[in-house]
Chains A and B, each alone.
Chain A
Amino acid sequence: MSIFDAGFAVWGYFVIYIALTIAYLIWMVSRNRKDTQRGATSPDRENR
């Protein structure tokens, strides 16, 4: 019996968790890139 034979409750768990993680990583990279671009002009960033 493979993971896929076990049904959506099992393989769906893996697929959705991986998809959610990838979605978060894409969002994170996008936000951090924006911050980096803005930060270059922000004097506040010089404080640390």
Chain B
Amino acid sequence: MTQWAVLISFFVVTLALGYLGLRVTKNDQDFYIAGGNLGWAVGGASIAATQMSSGLFIGTIGIMYAVGWSFAWVVFVFPVAYWLMVAVIAPRFTRQRKVSLPDFLETRYYSRVARVIAALIILIAFVVYISAQVIAGGLIANALFGVSVNSGMIGFTAVVLAYTAIGGMVAVVYTDFLQMMIMVVGAAVAIPMVLGQTGGLNSMLALVDSANPVTFTWEGMAPSLLLTLSLAFFLGAVARPEQLVRFYAMKDMPTIRKGIAFVIILVGLAHTLVFVLALGTRVLFPALSTGDQAMPVLAVHALPAFLGTLLLVAVASAMMSTVSSVLLVAGTALSHDIYGVLRPSMSPERRVLIGRIGTVIVGLVPMIMVLTGFGAGELVQFIVALFSALMGAVFLVPVVAGVLWRRATREGAIVAMLGGLVGTVAWRLWGDTDAIDPVVPGFAASLILMIAVSLFTAPPPASAVEPYFADPDEDESASLARAGSGA
């Protein structure tokens, strides 16, 4: 009964925020980027919540459970990546306010083909990613209520799809804010209970150390493996479309910088709380067959009903905040960057309607694929990792070159995206993925192709480059303020 009350309350508040989004969404800029008027708290919490998927509470906690604290050092990737994004990419990326990454690529690389290719890659990769999150939603529902995994997948998808399609970016970012707070509070309130059952922090550390002596050493995850994994996470974190679009949604550069400060604090806090919970689970439940069971087992068997449910709602929040964001970006790719190119002259109302239809389509397809057997047997974290690899290999070079290198050309960008895609997939199929993550050869291929092809093709026209590079002494913070157009 407690579980149902907590979950239904959560869903009601979430759907109410979807309704709020519906009320304030008047045109496509409202639907895709919340009118470009977000403050730092909501914008930052939204970026953090989108970053932390159910992989944090299922996959990451599982790895921590298995290999120990050395894995925690992977987290340093995120503050470094976000600092790089806000210091290097954001100032020029936001000089023209767009509504999507493909939109930016079209303007910077004076190519509609580049935009459509980017949109197609986003569509395909995001459908795979959403399918992983849908599976996680089903597992969470199964652990909490004992309902079938399929029913859980349908229920979670229906709720996320409802508020995302109805309320657009406004609903997504405000639900992200709520869900981010639930993630932190849910994990935080569970810790005193876990420490109480393990005899306190010092006792828990000693018990973990005696049960698994490599937990607090570098042997659990060798530094070489840690560096490889960190590189893969870093390359995949810098140019993710669902994160970059939030820069367009925020007011100006000072707001973005403050938002990223909030992100760095929230990411560190949430990961650390989850890591401590993983150690507690190691003590309380030392013989789990797989680390992926750590969080559900902890919530159901070690915590009182209300706190256990709150922790599982936190897991659900992690999943929902990520799914809603990628749903909206994938819907944008389908509606704005593909259909919008085919039918450029539409009324603002029709653009919003098409955005909603696109979001529903990209939400239903992965669920149907999962229900019909796609992805069965694949680990959630594996799919998440391949998604990050694709994002890093395909978009990092065109985005960074687009804001740093005047000479980067249309042809270079197109070939870099395709080369990154082919390199990543080929390495996944035929390479030694235990030694080198697929993102590395994909990124290398993308970088080499961008440089080589750009140098051998005609320089970009000034009309494409000047909006991003002109007048280096001018105020960066005026970038977003200047351009309300171009969406």
Q: A4-48 toward B: CB 8 Å interface, digit per residue (1/0)?
A: 011101100110110011001101100110011011001011011
B217 contacts across to A, CB distance below 8 A: 7, 9
CB-based nearest B residue for A2: B202
Whether the Cβ atoms of A36 and B481 lie closer than 8 Å is: no
Given contact pairs A1-B206, A6-B216, A10-B216, A44 touches B69 in the complex (Cβ within 8 A): no
Whether the Cβ atoms of A9 and B475 lie closer than 8 Å is: no
**Max chain A Cβ within 10 angstroms of own Cβ: one of B203, B254, B475, B484:** B475
Q: B321-332 toward A: CB 8 Å interface, digit per residue (1/0)?
A: 000000000000
Number of interface residues of B (CB under 8 A): 39
Given contact pairs A1-B206, A6-B209, A6-B216, A17 touches B478 in the complex (Cβ within 8 A): no
In the assembled complex, how far is the CB of residue A40 from the closest CB belonging to chain B, in whole angstroms?
10
Complex Cα distance A36/B258, Å?
A: 14
Whether the Cβ atoms of B251 and A48 lie closer than 8 Å is: yes
In the assembled complex, how far is the CB of residue A9 from the closest CB belonging to chain B, in whole angstroms?
5
In the assembled complex, how far is the CB of residue B164 from the closest CB belonging to chain A, in whole angstroms?
27
Whether the Cβ atoms of A32 and B257 lie closer than 8 Å is: yes
Chain B residues 450 to 487 lying within 8 A of chain A, measured CB to CB, are: 474-478, 481-482, 484
B405 at the interface (CB under 8 A from A): no
A38 contacts across to B, CB distance below 8 A: 475, 477
Chain B residues 195 to 222 lying within 8 A of chain A, measured CB to CB, are: 201-203, 205-206, 209, 216-218
B11 at the interface (CB under 8 A from A): no
A5 contacts across to B, CB distance below 8 A: 205
Whether the Cβ atoms of A6 and B477 lie closer than 8 Å is: no
Whether the Cβ atoms of B202 and A1 lie closer than 8 Å is: yes
Whether the Cβ atoms of B209 and A9 lie closer than 8 Å is: no
Whether the Cβ atoms of B478 and A39 lie closer than 8 Å is: yes
B261 at the interface (CB under 8 A from A): yes
A16 contacts across to B, CB distance below 8 A: 76
Given contact pairs A21-B265, A38-B475, A48 touches B252 in the complex (Cβ within 8 A): yes
Whether the Cβ atoms of A47 and B216 lie closer than 8 Å is: no
In the assembled complex, how far is the CB of residue B75 from the closest CB belonging to chain A, in whole angstroms?
7
Complex Cα distance A2/B79, Å?
A: 27
Complex Cα distance A19/B363, Å?
A: 41
Whether the Cβ atoms of A6 and B75 lie closer than 8 Å is: no
Whether the Cβ atoms of B205 and A6 lie closer than 8 Å is: yes
Whether the Cβ atoms of A36 and B69 lie closer than 8 Å is: no
Indicate which residue in B69, B265, B477 contacts A13 across the interface (CB closer than 8 Å). B69
Complex Cα distance A28/B201, Å?
A: 34
Given contact pairs A1-B205, A6-B69, A47-B484, A24 touches B264 in the complex (Cβ within 8 A): yes
In the assembled complex, how far is the CB of residue B302 from the closest CB belonging to chain A, in whole angstroms?
21
B481 contacts across to A, CB distance below 8 A: 44-45, 47-48
B72 at the interface (CB under 8 A from A): yes
B339 at the interface (CB under 8 A from A): no
Whether the Cβ atoms of B79 and A7 lie closer than 8 Å is: no
Complex Cα distance A18/B474, Å?
A: 33
In the assembled complex, how far is the CB of residue A2 from the closest CB belonging to chain B, in whole angstroms?
6
Chain B residues 237 to 263 lying within 8 A of chain A, measured CB to CB, are: 251-254, 257-258, 260-261
Complex Cα distance A30/B124, Å?
A: 41
B111 at the interface (CB under 8 A from A): no
B70 at the interface (CB under 8 A from A): yes
CB-based nearest A residue for B71: A9
Given contact pairs A25-B261, A47-B484, A17 touches B252 in the complex (Cβ within 8 A): no
CB-based nearest B residue for A30: B257
Chain B residues 259 to 311 lying within 8 A of chain A, measured CB to CB, are: 260-261, 264-265, 268, 272
What are some 16 contacts across the A-B interface (CB < 8 A)?
Answer: A1-B202, A3-B205, A6-B216, A7-B217, A17-B268, A20-B79, A20-B80, A21-B261, A24-B261, A32-B257, A35-B476, A39-B475, A44-B475, A44-B482, A45-B475, A48-B251
List 15 additional contacts besides A24-B83, A28-B257; criterion CB under 8 Å: A2-B202, A6-B205, A10-B69, A10-B216, A17-B75, A17-B76, A20-B264, A21-B268, A24-B264, A28-B260, A39-B475, A44-B478, A45-B475, A48-B251, A48-B481
